[in-house]
Chains A and B, each alone.
Chain A
Amino acid sequence: MDFNLLLDRLFLGLSNGSTYALIALALVMIFKATTLINFAQGEFAMIGAFFVFVLSVEQGLPVWIAVFLGMVISALAAAGIERTLIRPFDPSDHLPLVIITLGLFLAINALAAMIWGFNTRAFPALFPSGNALTIGTATLSWYTVGVVFVTFATAGALTLLLNRTKIGLAFRAVSSNLESSELVGVRVGPTLQFGWAIAAAVGTLGASVYVANPILSLEPSVMIRVLIFAVSAAALGGLDSVWGAIAGGIAIGMVQSIVVPYAKIPNELALGAAVVVLMLVLLFKPSGLFGTPQVERV
């Protein structure tokens, strides 16, 4: 086994896995609130990255300021979508909501294609170019270091938000028991809306760092694959756990970059491998690695 190649694949798994983790974090925020998987999350993130692109490349703002503004704009847009398309429906009836997220997936993808077309665009660099570390012929790029840092910082910030703030407490209460939360005075609608907004902001950050990869570019379908990996990552991590999403994302990244090539699975089937992982999780450990098992004594 070529050690240098292994290291390279490990680093690749880290950077891919971290972006899956960021999108998985967005999915977890929605899932915690509504036990719903938002299939439009990848497209929310993609259009958020387009906002960032417009603000930085076309309007000339510094790229991190553009990222921040893009996160704010997508949070507001998601809050509006929650209010108009999600809240009118019964939160306990999932099928209509799943259909709405699928509809949003198609609508946002089509909207981005109408505005920006399917031409690929180079996304501005978010991290320094070059390598942070060279071991033999293996290289760890600043991009990978940056993505991993952003991912862990985001998970840390979300943990603080959920555990140390009043809105975070309300959000956790609503995720745990909707009716009891109302009975202590939590306004459920705005609290869930907060979850959608945070998820959209995190998703936009995730898509931005993903397409900032020098070997990738921005186009309307860029997040579709990522969403599949992210759903697997979130399920592996337990769907309702912030750090589970991180572990799940990196694990899926490693499956893709290490297991798939060494097991001689054709690269075209890498996406399938992620789905297989998802199926195995749902079959053998439905609450994931770090999810909350449904144990309750009465």
Chain B
Amino acid sequence: MTDQTHDSTDTAGAERPLVLNVTDLRGGYGQIQVLHGLDFNVFESEIVVILGANGAGKTTTLRAVSGMIDTTGAIEFRGESIQDAKAPDIVRKGVAHVPQGRGTLPELSVEDNLRVGAYIRKDNEVDQDIERWFDVYPVLRQRRNQRAGSLSGGEQQMLAVSRALMSRPDLLLLDEPSLGLAPLIVKDLFDRFAEINKETGMTMLVVEQNAQLALAVADRGYVIESGEISFDGPADELLHDDKIRKAYLGV
């Protein structure tokens, strides 16, 4: 049983249920097409990373999945098409999106930011969950009544991640969590993602420019160039691939 789990990690999650399956994804903003037919998938409890340079279409890909832009192609979440669904409905199906630049609500308190993260929930365990994420990120507890806009970048990213997790998602989308943060903070952030993934089995799809860190915690990776997947494979393979190393790891 445990062996099988290990096996499935190594063989790109083939034995696990498929969470997200995207085929021939095309879309963009108005007249400008950014995505030119992407295929990728995410299996249960995997961390999958999408790497790419600025403007390659990473953010657009995540926005397509969470229903923020119009697309063609197929986006299936747990076997159900979410391609035409709007963002608020996709959240209700279990996809939480931490947008680029954190997207915290600067005028609201830290606690209210978390509370709004639970907006779609109808159970009465919201307070419990808030305390749970305060345990994971104690600095947020200290600042619970402070306005989110007054937090540092790293703290805002912790808040944005906690807020997304407050919806008790089935799939967490993370858009360049490392953006604008000091290397030590980024390292800590990714370690925490790996911990959350290990402890809760949370499935994560991360887009990143920081390939080294992202691949260190990821199971698999895709490389996106000009709106197309140019490369994909297990994370450690990508880490050691010469082409990838030259293009994204700066070595």
A-side interface residues toward B, CB under 8 Å?
A: 166, 169-170, 172-173, 175-177, 179-188, 292, 295-298
Instruction: Say whether B104 contacts A186, CB under 8 Å.
Output: no
Complex contacts, A170 vs chain B, CB 8 Å:
116, 119
Instruction: Determine whether the beta carbon of B108 is less than 8 Å from that of A173.
Output: yes
Contact at A169–B88, with CB atoms within 8 Å?
Answer: no
Residue B87, interface by CB 8 Å: yes
A-B contacts, 29 listed (Cβ < 8 Å):
A169-B119, A172-B112, A173-B108, A177-B104, A177-B105, A177-B106, A179-B103, A180-B99, A181-B116, A182-B86, A183-B68, A183-B99, A184-B91, A184-B117, A184-B119, A184-B120, A184-B164, A185-B91, A185-B167, A186-B116, A186-B119, A187-B88, A292-B107, A295-B150, A297-B150, A297-B151, A297-B152, A297-B156, A298-B102
Given contacts A177-B104, A297-B156, 17 further A-B contacts (CB under 8 A): A169-B116, A172-B105, A172-B112, A173-B119, A180-B105, A182-B68, A182-B87, A183-B87, A183-B97, A183-B99, A184-B91, A184-B117, A188-B88, A296-B106, A297-B150, A298-B101, A298-B180
How distant is the Cα of A292 from the Cα of B172 in the complex, in angstroms? 31
Which residues of chain B in 180-211 are interfacial with respect to chain A, using CB atoms and an 8 Å cutoff? 180
Interface hits, B78-101 → A, CB 8 Å: 86-88, 91-92, 96-97, 99, 101
Q: Which residue of B lies closest to A172 (CB)?
A: B108
A170-B117 Cα distance, complex, nearest whole Å: 10
In the complex, which residues of chain B have a beta carbon less than 8 angstroms from the beta carbon of A175? 107
B37 close to A (CB within 8 Å)? no
Knowing A182-B87, A184-B167, A185-B92 touch, does A173 contact B116 (C-beta < 8 A)? Answer: yes
Residue B163 at the A interface, CB < 8 A? yes
- Chain A residues closer than 8 Å to B150, beta-carbon distance: 295, 297
Interface on chain A toward B: helix, strand, loop, or mixed SS?
helix
Alpha-carbon distance between A185 and B104 when the two chains are bound, in angstroms = 14
Pick the most buried of B87, B103, B115: most chain A CB atoms within 10 A of its CB. Answer: B87
Q: Which residues of A contact B180 (CB under 8 A)?
A: 298
Would you give the shortest CB distance from B82 to chain A, in whole angstroms?
14
**Is B88 within 8 A of A297, CB to CB?**
no
**CB atoms of B107 and A176 under 8 A apart:** yes
Nearest CB of chain B from residue A149's CB, rounded to whole Å: 29
CA A59 – CA B55 in complex, angstroms? 65
Judged by a CB distance under 8 angstroms, whether B59 is at the interface is no
Closest chain-A Cβ to B12's Cβ sits at a distance in Å of: 28
Residues of B close to A176: CB separation below 8 A = 105-108
Query: What residues of chain A lie closer than 8 Å to B60, measured between beta carbons?
Result: none
Given A297-B149, A297-B151, A298-B153; A185-B105 close (CB under 8 Å) = no
